């Protein structure tokens, strides 16, 4: 798995969204590189991290991240994850309660049912068209990324209750995640706080200064410069 390491301090893993790579998270990386040891990861099938050429799941990507943390023997880990990166982050927090300190989830979801139905309908049509042309590698790659969004990997509210670390949830003013779904995260994670950045969309939330300010307040709270 390709990753970029910068800075010193507590470990901070940064996970990008679907069809992105670690370079998309540069504003977040630049904000925290002087206070944390940052590991900016290219997730499976994204950026410079290759995959085996077959369909993969969020659970596979979670396994990759868990193995990464174990291999580097990281402890007191903080994770920032945007969209699918957030979906990986909370799964890691469920599985590694003894190693995770804080997680920041930017526009996550735990089920396709929690997303705007028109957006999901559009993705369904896109997936059908992509399947027709999936003999082309580039098209097949895109199809696998769409499936990361549309596939139900059966995370339930009871799974969210297993998250014991401090958790910051940030959502955009214009979202593809339904309001009830957002509130379900807040209601089922014991130490969760919910913030909203009004002037933002799901697509640009990770780069919004106000979102990064909220992350900084949450991460740096009571930490000396």
Q: What predicted TM-score, i.e. pTM, was given to this entire model?
A: 0.95
pLDDT for residue 190 is more than 80? yes
- Binned at pLDDT 50, 70 and 90, residue 54 comes out as confident
pLDDT tier at 225 (50, 70, 90 boundaries)? Answer: very low
At residue 53 the predicted structure's pLDDT band, cuts being 50, 70 and 90, is confident
- In a domain, residue 145? The reply is no
Rounded Cα–Cα distance for residues 125 and 149 (Å): 13
Query: Which residue has tokens 């904000």?
Result: 31
Q: Is residue 181 situated within a structural domain?
A: yes
What domain range is 178 assigned to? 3-115+154-220
Judged on CB neighbours under 10 Å (0-12, 13-18, 19+), 53 is exposed
Q: Encode pLDDT of 106-124 as tens digits.
A: 999 999 999 999 999 999 9
Residue 34 maps to which CATH number?
3.40.50.1820
Q: What's the number of domains the chain is made of?
A: 1
Indicate whether 124 belongs to any domain. no
Q: Is residue 22 part of a domain?
A: yes
pLDDT at 4: 97
Q: Is residue 122 in a domain?
A: no
DSSP conformation class of 134: T
Q: What is the pLDDT at residue 52?
A: 78
Interacting residues of 106 by C-beta distance below 8 A, sequence separation 6+? 80, 81, 82, 83, 85, 86, 170, 171, 205, 206, 211
> Helices (DSSP H) in 116-208: which residue ranges?
117-132, 137-150, 157-160, 179-188
Q: Does the residue 140 lie in any domain?
A: no
Q: Is residue 8 part of a domain?
A: yes
Considering only CA atoms, which of 182, 174, 124 is closest in space to residue 152?
A: 124
Residues 6+ apart with CB under 8 A from 154: none
Whole-number percent of the chain with pLDDT over 70 = 98
40-65 average pLDDT score: 93
- pLDDT at residue 224 tops 90: no
pLDDT (0 to 100) of residue 207: 97
């Amino acid at each position: 798995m390709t990753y970029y390491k910068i800075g010193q301090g507590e470990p901070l893993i940064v996970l990008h969204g679907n069809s992105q790579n670690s370079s998309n998270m540069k504003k977040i990386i630049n904000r925290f590189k002087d206070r944390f040891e940052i590991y900016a990861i290219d997730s499976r099938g994204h950026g410079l991290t290759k995959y085996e050429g077959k369909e993969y799941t969020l659970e596979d990507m979670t396994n990759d991240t868990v193995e990464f943390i174990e291999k580097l023997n990281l402890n007191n880990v903080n994770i920032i994850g945007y969209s699918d990166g957030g979906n990986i982050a909370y799964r890691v927090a469920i599985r590694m309660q003894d190693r995770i300190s804080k997680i920041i989830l930017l526009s996550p979801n735990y089920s396709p049912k929690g997303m705007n139905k028109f957006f999901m309908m559009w993705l369904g049509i896109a997936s059908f068209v992509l399947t027709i042309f999936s003999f082309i590698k580039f098209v097949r790659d895109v199809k696998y990324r769409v499936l990361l969004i549309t596939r139900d990997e059966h995370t339930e509210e009871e799974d969210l209750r297993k998250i014991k670390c401090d958790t910051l949830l940030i959502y955009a003013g214009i979202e593809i995640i339904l309001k009830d779904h957002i509130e379900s995260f807040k209601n089922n994670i014991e130490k969760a706080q919910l913030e909203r950045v009004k002037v933002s969309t799901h697509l640009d939330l990770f780069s919004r200064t106000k979102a990064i300010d909220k992350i900084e307040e949450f991460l740096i709270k009571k930490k000396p410069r």
